[in-house]
Amino acid sequence: MKTQVAIIGGGPAGLLLAQLLHTRGIESIILERKTRDYVLARIRAGVLEQGLVRLLQEAGCADRLHAEGHVHDGTLISYGDEMFRIDFTDLTGTPVIVYGQTEVTRDLYAARDAAGGLIEFNAENVVIHDADSDRPHVTYSVDGMARRIDCDFVAGCDGFHGVSRKTIPQDVRRDYEKVYPFGWLGILSETPPVNPELIYANSPRGFALCSMRNENLSRYYIQCPTTDRPEDWTDDAFWAELKRRIPADQAETLVTGPSIEKSIAPLRSFVTEPMRWGRLFLCGDAAHIVPPTGAKGLNTAASDVHYLYHALRSYYETGSQDGIDGYSAKALARVWKAERFSWWFSNLMHRFPDHSEFDQKMQLADLAFLRSNRAAQQAMAENYVGLPY
């Protein structure tokens, strides 16, 4: 087979890139290691920056988002029983949209189907060849049958454990990583959210987050040791611990119920440089990971897609290589700012095993300053709703 852009990874980043390219008549083939049902079963965050919303609009995939998504004009931060609000709309003029990543992926699959675009599911043994030449190609197998795609460019949207990043030689790339000494235990429940807006909670017992997908589907998290397993926590134990970590008035109104999904996510900050090698480009988790604090993972992948889409569009429409040559530097400049925000917010809200009493006092002072200082709130709000592309 032959195409203009081979896209490795059929998650939201790869699907969005493919659909945007399709709107400009640029052909692509997507390779996905798993099945469609597997991809759609993955539970991920659902806070969307306006930049991502605009990209979905440009891709023609935002109708259901606008009909079913929830506009959030602010978020709540608590420490102990104290709670204050960061008003995004007042501080920046911009809200965020709560709409599950699974639903974004579902909409993008529907658009890909309508466009007649090819997705090869169950693609195994993927190898990217000659990425540093002007004739790259990708080999893989489906059901034991070997296949090959010749292409102009390869977009690596295959996540942290994918093959794309590893294709870049180790003497070319450099990895930067911070592993956090805790994880997030999360549950999904068919219950109304405790509050119409998200609550980020700093507690002496550890961090907690109250979030939602819709009026009858809630997502809750608590900080836990990395040695814990989901089966170590009964639903009753989870709800009891969550109530201890959020303000008493919120705990009193919390509606509990059986969990329909329970998992533990480790936290890490990770960036690889560069994000381009020859005609191979990395997007999203293939190039960087952020802690989930502040919901920057999908949104940062979207900014990569924005830069790569415009680079490829310029190449095919005008013959210019400027966007391609500048892709890595542009993407990384924004990635590192998102990494900084997620790192800062994670340090502000979590209890670390080695925290001294001094560290805890500094954390509380930082929260008190954020509560009382409009400039600090504006800086946080600007980062939360999304820095410009």
In 3-state terms, what secondary structure has residue 157?
coil
Distance CA 310, CA 322 (A): 10
Kindly tell me if the per-residue pLDDT of 42 is higher than 90.
no
Nearest to 62 by CA among 308, 302, 330: 302
| 384 catalytically annotated | yes
Report pLDDT digits (tens) over 98-126: 998 999 999 999 999 999 999 999 999 99
Question: What distance in Å separates the CA atoms of residue 123 and residue 149, rounded to the nearest whole number?
Answer: 12
Q: State yes or no: pLDDT of 23 exceeds 80.
A: yes
- The residue assigned the tokens 């925290």 is 355
Helical axes 12-23 vs 101-115, angle rounded to 10°: 40
d(CA 225, CA 266): 9
Active-site residue, 292 included: yes
The catalytic position among 79, 109, 180, 200 is 200
Three-class secondary structure assignment of 274-297 = CCEECCEEECHHHCEECCCCCCCH
φ and ψ of 355, to 5 deg: -60, 130
Q: Are 111 and 19 in contact (CB under 8 A)?
A: yes
Question: Among residues 99, 220, 327, 384, which one is catalytic?
Answer: 384
Residue 272's pLDDT band, with cuts at 50, 70 and 90, is: very high
Mean pLDDT over 256-281 rounds to 96
Single out the catalytic residue among 22, 137, 288, 296.
Answer: 296
pLDDT tens, 300-326?
999 999 999 999 999 999 999 999 999
- What is 5-54+100-177+268-346's CATH number? 3.50.50.60
For the question of residue 204 being annotated catalytic, the response is no
Position 355 scores a pLDDT of 94
- At residue 43, the pLDDT reads 67
Q: What pTM was estimated for this model as a whole?
A: 0.95
Task: For 46-66, write each residue's pLDDT tens digit.
Answer: 899 999 999 999 999 999 999
Lookup: tokens for 220: 């809750």
- Among 292, 306, 307, 350, the active-site one is 292
Integer CA distances (angstroms), 62 to 68, 69, 89, 227, in order: 10, 10, 21, 40
The reply to whether 389 belongs to the active site is no
More confident: 42 or 192: 192
For residue range 209-247, what is the model confidence (pLDDT) as tens digits?
999 988 889 999 999 999 999 999 999 999 999 999 999
